[in-house]
Amino acid sequence: MGSNHSKIFFGQNTGLIVNSSSILEPFFFIRCIKKNPDGTWEKPSRGEGKVVKFSLEEIVMMLEVLDRKSLNWSSYHSFNDIETKITFEWEDDNVRTLWIKVDKYSKMLNFAQAEILRRLLVHILEEKIVHATVSSNSTIKSNSMGKKSDEVLSHDVFNEALLDTHEFLPKKKRKKAINDQQPRDFTKKKVNIEGSIQGETKKALLIQFISGDELWIPKSTIHGKYIPKKNRDQKFLIDDWILKKNHVIS
């Protein structure tokens, strides 16, 4: 059994590389590259493309989607107050086509590719739980999320080292939050209410309700599954107190 794994999913314009270089390290990498207008591919050795390091906990959340227990999962990697968004989401309720989005890169996986990725991540997670959680003086120190690493990735397609470079987009301006202070008489009631997503930040969704009200709703008050697509009518299970406090419901 090998101690490292590498799988590439190539499309016409975008490539996604899954890499785990050692069973002793409690993380793995996803690298995204795209084809340039001249037909050549981005070269990671020149700092091109995008690479992100993921923890064991994040593998678990990815598998929630790949096991079809959830329609989507998203996360943000932050470094110096600059955020990179990562999203795993099924294209529709048929859960046959998976989209993986890392920053400005989007890669579609068909049913077979998504199943291969699922089995690979299950295997990687099982290996790392056994070997990368052993406490010893020789254990490689866990790398903080978002920091640079000198981990080396490789593949014959490029015939060169794929260096771990972490790039980020400029930080988005923060939106003003709605009144989200829980009342003293708070009760754990939830309301199923119809609306559509108009915007999203790390901690909130901008939802337009059928009443016409459009409000930022903290994700901590939204329960159950929702499809993270704009202008799609769907139902949200939301704590009733925040809807009442902002006069969405009476």
pLDDT in tens, the chain (250 residues): 567 899 999 988 999 999 998 999 999 999 999 999 999 999 887 888 999 999 999 999 999 999 998 999 999 887 667 688 999 999 988 889 999 999 999 999 999 999 999 999 999 999 999 999 876 544 434 443 333 333 333 333 333 333 333 333 333 333 334 555 555 555 578 999 999 998 888 888 999 998 888 899 999 899 988 888 888 889 999 999 999 888 888 8
210 and 122 both lie in a single domain = no
The rounded distance, in Å, linking the Cα atoms of 64 and 55 is 15
202 and 154 both lie in a single domain = no
22 and 76 both lie in a single domain = yes
101 and 211 both lie in a single domain = no
pLDDT at 56: 93
The rounded distance, in Å, linking the Cα atoms of 55 and 147 is 13
**Identity of residue 55:** S
The rounded distance, in Å, linking the Cα atoms of 9 and 120 is 13
184 lies in some domain: no
20 and 104 both lie in a single domain = yes
183 lies in some domain: no
20 and 72 both lie in a single domain = yes
156 and 198 both lie in a single domain = no
172 lies in some domain: no
Domain holding 72, by residue range, is 5-163
41 and 156 both lie in a single domain = yes
With beta carbons less than 8 A apart as the criterion, state whether 26 and 142 touch: yes
- Contacts within 8 Å (CB) and 24+ apart, 238-241: 238/190, 238/191, 238/193, 239/188, 239/189, 239/190, 239/191, 240/189, 240/190, 240/191, 241/182, 241/183, 241/186, 241/187, 241/189
17 and 117 both lie in a single domain = yes
With beta carbons less than 8 A apart as the criterion, state whether 143 and 54 touch: no
Q: Out of 119, 144, 163, pick the residue that ends a domain.
A: 163
Number of domains forming the structure of the chain = 2
Encoded tokens for 86: 């990562």
87 lies in some domain: yes
153 and 201 both lie in a single domain = no
Strands (E), 49-183: 50-55, 72-79, 82-90, 98-102, 105-109, 152-155, 160-163
170 lies in some domain: no
178 lies in some domain: no
177 lies in some domain: no
23 and 105 both lie in a single domain = yes
Instruction: Specify the DSSP element, H or E, that contains 117.
Output: helix 111-131
The rounded distance, in Å, linking the Cα atoms of 140 and 69 is 33
